[in-house]
Amino acid sequence: MTYDYDLFIMGAGSAGAAAASKAASLGLRVAVAEQEALGGTCLNRGCIPKKLIVYAADFALHNKIAPDYGWSKSSSHFNWTQFIRSVHKQIDRINTSYKERFEKNGITLLRGHATFIDAHTIKVDEHKVSADKILIAVGARPFIPDIPGIEYAITSREMFHLPYLPKRLAIIGGGYIGVEFASMMNALGCRVTVIDTSETILEGFDDDIRKSLQESLSKRGVKFINNSTATEIKHYEEGLLLTVSGKYKKTIAADSILVATGRAPNTEKLDLDNAQVEMGEKNAIKVDEYSRTNQENIFAVGDCTNRLQLTPAAKSEAVAFVNTIFANHTETVNYNEIPSAVFARPEIASMGMTENQARSKFGDSVKCYSNKFQPLMHQLASTEEQVIIKVVVEGESERVIGIHMLGEHAADIIQCLGVAIRKGITKQDLDEAIAIHPTTAEEFLTLD
């Protein structure tokens, strides 16, 4: 049978765009459907604009210690409206580059909502097309808890469209999205309260690292209400009231309430039943290690699947899919080798096993090396900034199976060390490496 396209991709986010470019480079006929801005969540309402806010907040933090470095104190004012306008201009420029890349690579871009008619036929609004292979890369959306008054809250999507900087911000959820916004909005002058159901924020990260980050943010003025759940939101003349129950029972007054309780796959309106695609828990698409669904010609990658919800993971899955199906190069993604970071201040980053995970798997053969110190930049300042580094090793060879860090440039440092971990380095390899002095990264090479 002759099809309109060799590959049809639902979604032009990070994963969809990566798959499209790779497939087009192999000479395939590729089409992509997207109903919103190109680049998906990461570009338009996630990684990129969020990191730009982090940079804006860094100026406020650096201004606090500038007098300790000889700079005279001066008053300054942050213009949220002007800043957000600049952020959206930059996003528009990147959006344009996506479109130009598609045109240059001969990729057909269909604007509209794509749904299945059958396993090989898709409808984009009222336009029907057929394809030999179909890739679902529709991403995810913020999960909205079912509590009274939730309509008064906003998600990370709306944070980038706030008309003004709220004086009081309550955040429901202590995952990476909630923690990052708590950090940057606090630095910009907001009074921030975080409500989390766990004892400590950032469940899944190494315990020493996440506890230290919560302590650091607390010292900067972020208030944490742990082991508690948001149960109701009410509107009143001066703002919003958030009721919290659990270990702590209280009512919090806020100008804005951010819901950051995770993300749900964008799979509800795809008419997947028409293609008989099997679903898993929480409406995620079930796939195997090669991103194949139960239908041999339909695949899925990224946040809409039952795997890791991270942009680098989604892009790696997309490229691995194209290589496996079209380039005769079987490829899978090793999820244990994907680094992750939380761009709070201080920043944290991690790769491999946490101490608890390692001990659960390897028992007494696990050993940890760690150090806690004040970074050089803050030794002239009156701040109590700390860096924590931790290396988890296993066996007589002391093979490195996990690295974790809290502190400035953590993401960049862990990113580089991650390459070495993939090659099976040991603690001795770290010890024998020659460091650059004075740097924070050198501490990984001098652990006792």
Of residues 88, 120, 378, 437, which has the active-site annotation? 437
Contact 108, 32 (CB under 8 A): yes
Residue 132 among known ligand-binding residues: no
437 is catalytic: yes
Instruction: Judge residue 318's burial from the number of C-beta atoms within 10 Å of its C-beta, 0-12 exposed, 13-18 middle, 19 or more buried.
Output: buried
Give the Cα separation of 298 and 167 in Å (integer): 48
Residue 180 among known ligand-binding residues: yes
Give the Cα separation of 144 and 264 in Å (integer): 9
Residue 319 among known ligand-binding residues: no
Residue 176 among known ligand-binding residues: yes
Residue 288 among known ligand-binding residues: no
Residue 178 among known ligand-binding residues: yes
- 329-337 — which CB contacts under 8 Å span 24+ positions? 330/290, 332/289, 332/290, 335/307, 335/308, 337/418, 337/421, 337/422
Residue 234 among known ligand-binding residues: no
The beta-strand segments (E) located in 121-260 are: 121-124, 127-136, 140-142, 168-172, 191-195, 223-225, 228-236, 239-246, 250-254, 256-259
Contact 173, 262 (CB under 8 A): yes
Query: Which amino acid, 311?
Result: T
Residue 239 among known ligand-binding residues: no
Residue 296 among known ligand-binding residues: no
- Strands of the 256-259 sheet, one edge to the other: 223-225, 191-195, 168-172, 256-259
Binding positions: 51, 173-180, 262, 303
Binding positions for NAD(+): 173-180, 262
Binding positions for FAD: 51, 303
Catalytic residues: 437
